[in-house]
Structure 1
Amino acid sequence: MEVVLTATDPKLGQRGQVIKVSPGYAHNFLIPQNKAKLATASNLKSFEQEKARRVKEEAQAKSHAEAIAEKISGLSLTIEVLVGEAEKLFGAVTTQDIQEGLAVQGIRVEKKDIHLEEPIKKLGAYTVPVKIHPEIQVKLKLWVVKKKN
């Protein structure tokens, strides 16, 4: 019996793939758990349309991410912080601070996309990797400077 997978399964295959399974396995397990549908012409057509739509959306997301990456790569972000004795920061510069600094520049990224190994606790220049898309990562030049009173 042929079925179309509605979810990716490591043992069976990728979503949208047509596979042959025993009728009992299909009717008793795959179909009731919404892991597969019968491989009818209408189901195959709907999966092809969905696949084309997903490919188009992915291409749009990637082009949008490339535009953001271009903006970030040409940017030098400066964050002003309060410091105490010996130029030690009060607190630390975190992904939240970097996200807010980018938002002021008109660039929207998620905190989870900004990769700091640990919060920044000293003044200076840093290179911060920002993963905008699974295939696109860019390095942001970050300056942490003393706030003027």
Structure 2
Amino acid sequence: MQAILRSDVAGLGQRGDIVEVADGHFRNFLLPKGHAFKASPGAIEQAARMRASRDARDHESREAATAIATKLVPQTITITAKASSEGKLFGSVSAADVAEAVKAQTDIEIDRKNIEIDGVRSTGSHTATASLHSSVSFPITLEVVAAE
């Protein structure tokens, strides 16, 4: 049967997509949870409007993410952390630390959940990856220095 998705469903499609699903899947999962409704000629027109608004929002968020990326890529973010005399950190630098440093140094707010960083446990130059949109991810250059 054909169904129109009201929300993004993993492995099935995005909001406004017309998908072919089994009757039982529609009746037992998609319909009771409010994820989809049955496709009809009027509903198909509504789905087209949903897709158009989704595409417009997606374009705006991609543009915003690209603007942030062009500002952050050439910059180096400095993070101060407690470290031993050999340069080993007492702990590690987390995504929250990176987000806080970016906000303090550039006034650009990035959610810590969008930052991916591997175990930074020493002073020096490191790289974190920020993914602000499904098609926009960029490196953030970090300089970790020992606290005085």
**TM-score, scaled to structure 2:** 0.77
Alpha-carbon contact 1:4-1:44 (below 8 Å) kept: no
Runs of 4+ in 1 over 4 A off after TM superposition: 7-11, 18-21
Alpha-carbon separation, structure 1, partners of 2:131 and 2:11: 27
Aligned counterpart, 1:88: 88
Q: Deviations over 1:87-118 (max 9, x none)?
A: 32222211111010011121111212211122
CA RMSD of aligned residues (A): 2.9
Aligned counterpart, 2:101: 101
Gaps of 5+ in 1: none
Alpha-carbon separation, structure 2, partners of 1:98 and 1:20: 43
SS in 2 for 1:109: coil
Which AA in structure 2 matches 1:5? I
Which AA in structure 2 matches 1:110? D
Aligned counterpart, 1:17: 18
Q: Deviations over 1:49-107 (max 9, x none)?
A: 11111110000000000001111112110111222342322222111110100111211
Which AA in structure 1 matches 2:5? T
How many aligned positions are there? 140
Alpha-carbon contact 2:4-2:47 (below 8 Å) kept: no
- For the pair shown, the structure with the greater C-alpha radius of gyration is 1
Aligned counterpart, 2:40: 39
Of 8, 26, 29, which residue of structure 1 is paired with 2:27? 29
Aligned counterpart, 2:70: 70
Alpha-carbon separation, structure 1, partners of 2:51 and 2:17: 8
Aligned counterpart, 2:5: 6
Aligned counterpart, 2:53: 53
Q: Shift in Å at residue 3 of structure 1?
A: 4.3
Aligned counterpart, 2:111: 110
Q: Shift in Å at residue 38 of structure 1?
A: 4.2
Aligned counterpart, 1:128: 128
Q: Deviations over 1:109-146 (max 9, x none)?
A: 1212211122x111101122221211111111110012
**TM-score, scaled to structure 1:** 0.77
